Amino acid sequence: MDGTFRLGAIGGITIEIHYTWLLAFVLIAWTLAAGFFPDSYPGFASQTYWLLGLSAALLLFSSVLVHELAHSFVARARNIPVQSITLFIFGGVSNLRAEAETAGAEFVVAVVGPATSFVLAALFFIIGQAVPERGPLGALLSYLAFINVLLGLFNLLPGFPLDGGRVLRAAVWRATGDVRKATDIAARIGQLLAFGFIAWGVLRIFSNDLFGGLWIAFIGWFLNNAAEASRRQVAQQAFFQGVRVAQLMDATPDTVVPETTVADLVYGHFLGKGQRAVAVCSDDQLAGIVSLTDAKAVPREQWATTQVSQIMTREPLHTARPGDDAAQALKVLAENGINQVLVTEDGRLVGLLSRSDLIRYIQFREELGIGAAETVRSGPRR
Active site residues: 68
Cβ–Cβ < 8 Å for 264, 307 = no
The CA–CA distances, whole Å, from 367 to 330, 362, 371, 375 equal 21, 9, 10, 16
SS3 at position 304: coil
Half-sphere exposure of 182 (CA within 13 A, CB side): 20
Tell me the CA distances in angstroms from 321 to 78, 125, 289, one per residue in order: 21, 48, 17
Q: How far apart are CA 240 and CA 374, in angstroms?
A: 10
CA proximity to 68, closest of 99, 94, 97: 94
| Pairwise CA distance, residues 376 & 365, whole Å | 9
Neighbours of 5 (CB within 10 A): 9
Rounded CA separation 200/185 (Å): 23
Q: CB 339: neighbour CB atoms within 10 A?
A: 13
368 with 360: CB under 8 angstroms? no
Say which DSSP state 302 is in.
G
